[in-house]
Amino acid sequence: MSDPRIAGAGVTHFGEHPERTGRDLFAEAGLEALDDAGIDPEDAEALYYGNFMGELAEHQGHQGPLMAEAIGLDVPATRVEAACASAGAAIREGVKTLRNGEAEVVVVGGAERMTNIGTAAATDALAIAADDLYEVRAGMTFPGAYALMARSYFDQYGGSREDLAHIAVKNHEHALVNDHAQIQKEITVEDALEAPTIADPLGLYDSCPITDGAAATVLTTESYAAEHDLDAPVAITGTGQGGDNLALQDRPHLAQTPAADKAAEEAYDDAGVDPDDVDFAEVHDCFTIAEVLAIESLGFYERGEGIAAARNGETTRDGDLPINLSGGLKAKGHPVGATGVAQLATVAWVLDGSHPRADAVPDGTVGVAHNAGGTVASTTVHVMEVQE
């Protein structure tokens, strides 16, 4: 069993594209990935496609074969849904398919169209990733849910809105050179603290935007890459997935994310690495507090210590452990079904030196992607490494 290689990737601009359909967005990303890989599309043997709210935003289900058709593939195509972790779960399916010998080339991607239905409808659509009976009907939205998690964290470990503001400032700065990013705007701590409150203690700059976009990658076996002389130096060496109770009230604590703990442990064991080996990571920062919870679950910080990482400069591009060099969901944007694959693409590009922020880790060999669904009831973690 060999580790799948990342042969190519494509990502659309993340932002507002209300005039474009989901299939149009995915066609752009998928065709770019196939071209980047330099493979014959007829060699592709499967498509795994992440999408969360297509039925609500586009009145379109059964998107797997639709998206295969959009990029010219005649293959079995499967849509994968795990809320905001849909693309991360799709990656796992692709990795398992290659590892178990069912295929030598698979395409993995995802897309989401959200801005066409407006902010209120998009917020309602996103909320179905929570418990409808006990959360949504009581008025719970994800800004409110993550605000509860932030309050719990502050109560249990300490921290402040200013600590969260430093995370937003960092991720906005990282996105300034990322042409795929939805928000390329520098902000200050004062800007973040003075912005409108969304759900106390979270403000406007603590929250990711509503986003349209798509991402795709071509994964191959090591033997196929060698036989076809592909430039594919980055491998997915570890994959993990964890779960938790869907509703917050059914969990023993709100300031930890056990699903991410489990996914990270599985991915590290699979890759044969530990957190100290990781040079940088892309994590699921749908809200600034989510980045804190992620870097603690990934083992980079002890519980209660991740809150000060950005303020101390440790997770900036000049720090010892850069986090979200893409700008993260916070500034790059969050087209739900595409996010996990976009994270994978970013890690691969940083490792191969082609990302505009690759100079942050010039000697980096190990990167991690962390993709979470809902209030982290679903999580995937993938370890990527440069191969000799």
Q: Would you name the residues annotated as active-site residues?
A: 84, 334
61 burial class (0-12, 13-18, 19+ CB within 10 angstroms)?
exposed
CB atoms within 10 A of CB 312: 13
Phi/psi at 47 (5° precision):
-125, 130
194: part of which helix (H) or strand (E)?
Answer: helix 189-194
**End-to-end alpha-carbon separation of the chain, Å?**
17
Q: Which two tokens stand for residue 214?
A: 């798509």
Determine contact, residues 143/124, Cβ cutoff 8 Å. Answer: no
Dist. CA 145–CA 332, nearest whole Å: 22
CA 53 from chain center: how many Å? 16
Q: Strand, helix or coil at 341?
A: helix
Dist. CA 331–CA 178, nearest whole Å: 10
Dist. CA 109–CA 136, nearest whole Å: 29
- Using CA atoms, how far residue 181 sits from 7, 102, 120, 220, in Å, is 23, 35, 23, 27
Q: Strand, helix or coil at 108?
A: strand
Determine contact, residues 34/43, Cβ cutoff 8 Å. Answer: no
- Please report the beta strands in 207-303, taking only residues with DSSP state E, as ranges in sequence order: 213-220, 234-243, 280-282
121: part of which helix (H) or strand (E)?
Answer: helix 118-127
